[in-house]
């Protein structure tokens, strides 16, 4: 089967998930092409877009999107940017022969690319599968929000926007997406049941199939290593209790790293005779202050990240809201138990009491969870974590589940057809309507 994978960003959690699935599908025997905005890796295809300056594709869009909300509105529950349907994609977005050869087009993180006539024309008559990495595909612009449920009916008066109004950009984007999805044959796949449930509540996905398949992970790379040897190599005392946490940006409020520091302060009071160290990875974090031993190791490449997973006694994920965290999965692949807040789909990434512990969403609850972990059979937790990860995130198993969806959808498409002669005029009218309402103004650099 020929599969074309499209994702907007060249890096980040969603892109890493797309790349791992792409590799698993290739190993499974499919002919696969991965397209994204540059810089692309060798063998991948670059999406064609207009360059307002020499910066990477998404930089002008992110600068524009950042003007739509404020730090204050983001703190009120969303903690993420608002991205509307603006795009810089040029025509043709991809060479026609690449799209024509694909039996299935598989979308991942699609903000800034999907909502463009250049890509819409190519995808309209293709079978699409879309892996959801956050809430943005079915909201008026937010990627996460802990309390707003307007998306279940119709957006507008968006609490994330700097200037909310009944007919604001969130309402326009929500209506626009509904019009677009109506013309596309899409099956949605969510890595978590939590996000799938959110998606099913959206009127944008009425009549669309929503399946649940976790992301795959490289269990050969993310695997147990010699902990004692690594600790000696990195200068970590063999008896120190290492608590590892980290994200792409430690300053992202949704990731809640400040709460982690508070929890460790309380843990130090609960276990005054324990020698421990908090190790943080990721960009930022300059304002994190602690009265206990900490180590900031910065942004890590994959090999170094695997080393730290293996040196850690536990990986902690204190995010306020997440889909299915890659880091929770990767840590268990390395045989490291985990702790996570009961938020979003995070708790679906592990087995409570077997490979880690669910914590309440306050610092004292996290300190209590660390205390429970220390009282547990650590070797048993490590063994069970590795076994669970091998079974749940194995590339062959995930590739098989996606293949089943691809094949079912192709059979259904062949049986029911796409836009046949009887409805070609209606489809053409829908295309005209789409092009008229599409917000194609290019954001200022």
Residue range 299-322, pLDDT digits in tens? 999 999 999 999 999 999 999 889
Instruction: Decide if 294 is inside a domain.
Output: yes
What pLDDT is stored for residue 440 in this prediction?
A: 44
Q: pLDDT tens, 21-75?
A: 999 999 999 999 999 887 677 888 988 877 656 566 677 888 899 899 888 887 7
Average pLDDT, the chain: 88
Question: Which percentage of the chain shows pLDDT scores above 90?
Answer: 65
Beta bridge partners of 359: 341
Residues 106 and 210 in one domain: yes
Contact between 103 and 403 under an 8 Å Cβ cutoff? The reply is: no
Q: What total of structural domains would you count in the chain?
A: 2
pLDDT in tens, 45-59: 988 877 656 566 677
**Cα distances (angstroms) measured from residue 369 to each of 162, 259, 276:** 38, 14, 15
Considering the domain architecture, whether residues 272 and 234 belong to the same structural domain is answered as: yes
**Does residue 172 sit in the same domain as residue 96?**
yes
Residue 4 pLDDT level (bands cut at 50, 70, 90): very high
The pLDDT value recorded for residue 118 is 81
Whether 296 and 198 map to the same domain: the answer is no
d(CA 327, CA 309): 9
Q: What is the pLDDT of residue 425?
A: 45
277 & 385 share domain? yes
Residues 349 and 379 in one domain: yes
Mean pLDDT of 279-284: 92
Residue 420: the pLDDT is: 43
**CATH number of the domain residue 351 falls in:** 3.40.50.2000
Q: Does residue 222 form part of some domain?
A: no
Asked whether residue 251 carries a pLDDT value surpassing 70, the answer given is yes
Structural domain includes residue 174: yes
**How sure is the predictor about 89, in pLDDT bands with cuts at 50, 70 and 90?**
confident
Q: Is 445 a member of any domain?
A: no
Residue 98 counted as domain residue = yes
Residue 186: both structure tokens together: 């899409």
Do 275 and 212 belong together in one domain?
Answer: no
Do residue 57 and residue 132 come from a single domain? yes
Torsion of CA 80, 82, 88, 89, to 10 degrees: 80
Q: Do 388 and 399 fall within a single domain?
A: no
Determine how β-strand 127-131 pairs with β-strand 104-107. parallel
Domain that holds residue 76: 2-216+395-437
Rounded CA separation 122/212 (Å)? 26
- What pLDDT does residue 431 have? 46
pLDDT class of 117 with cuts at 50, 70, 90: confident
Q: Are residues 281 and 365 in the same domain?
A: yes
The reported pLDDT for the residue numbered 444 is: 43
pLDDT at 345 over 90: yes
Question: Both 298 and 371 in a single domain?
Answer: yes
pLDDT band at 210 (very low <50, low <70, confident <90, very high): very high
Would 221 be classed as within a structural domain?
no
Q: Where residue 365 falls among pLDDT bands split at 50, 70, 90?
A: very high
pLDDT of 443 > 70? The answer is no
Does residue 383 form part of some domain?
A: yes
DSSP-based three-state secondary structure for 121: helix
Q: Are residues 320 and 433 in the same domain?
A: no
């Amino acid at each position: 089967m020929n599969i074309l994978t499209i994702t907007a960003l060249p890096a980040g959690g969603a892109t890493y998930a797309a790349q791992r699935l792409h590799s698993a599908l290739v190993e499974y025997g499919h002919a696969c092409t991965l397209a994204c905005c540059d810089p692309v890796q060798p063998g991948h295809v670059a999406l064609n877009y207009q360059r307002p300056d020499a910066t990477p594709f998404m930089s002008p869009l992110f600068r524009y999107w950042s003007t739509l909300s404020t730090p204050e509105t983001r703190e009120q529950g969303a903690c993420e940017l608002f991205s509307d349907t603006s795009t810089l994609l040029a025509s043709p977005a991809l060479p026609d022969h690449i799209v024509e050869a694909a039996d299935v087009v598989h979308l991942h993180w699609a903000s800034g690319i999907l909502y463009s006539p250049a890509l819409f024309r190519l995808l309209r008559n293709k079978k699409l599968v879309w892996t959801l990495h956050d809430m943005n595909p079915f909201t008026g612009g937010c990627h996460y929000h802990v309390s707003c449920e307007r998306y279940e009916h119709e957006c507008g008066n968006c609490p994330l926007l700097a200037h909310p109004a009944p007919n604001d950009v969130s309402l326009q984007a929500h209506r626009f997406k509904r019009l677009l999805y109506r013309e596309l044959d899409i099956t949605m796949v969510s890595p978590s049941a939590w996000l799938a449930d959110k998606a099913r509540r959206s009127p944008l996905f009425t009549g669309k199939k929503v399946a649940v398949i976790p992301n795959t992970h490289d269990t050969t790379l993310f695997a147990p290593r010699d902990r004692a040897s690594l600790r000696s190599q990195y200068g970590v005392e063999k008896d120190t209790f290492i608590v590892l946490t980290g994200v792409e940006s430690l300053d992202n409020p949704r990731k809640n790293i400040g709460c982690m520091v508070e929890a460790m302060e309380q843990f130090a009071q609960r276990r005054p005779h324990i020698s421990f160290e908090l190790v943080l990875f990721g960009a930022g974090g300059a304002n994190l202050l602690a009265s206990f031993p900490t180590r900031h190791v910065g942004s890590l490449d994959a090999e170094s990240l695997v080393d730290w997973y293996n040196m850690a006694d536990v990986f902690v994920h204190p995010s306020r809201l997440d889909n299915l965290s890659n880091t929770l999965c990767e840590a268990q692949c390395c045989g490291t138990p985990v702790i996570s807040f009961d938020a979003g789909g995070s708790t679906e990434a592990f087995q409570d009491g077997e490979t880690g512990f669910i914590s309440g969403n306050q610092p004292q609850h996290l300190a209590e969870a660390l205390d429970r972990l220390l009282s547990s059979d650590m070797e048993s937790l490590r063994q069970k974590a590795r076994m669970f990860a091998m079974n749940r995130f194995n590339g062959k198993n995930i590739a098989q589940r996606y293949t089943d969806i691809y094949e079912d959808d192709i059979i259904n498409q062949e049986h029911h057809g796409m836009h046949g002669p009887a409805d070609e005029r209606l489809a053409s009218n829908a295309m005209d309507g789409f092009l008229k309402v599409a917000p194609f103004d290019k954001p200022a650099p």
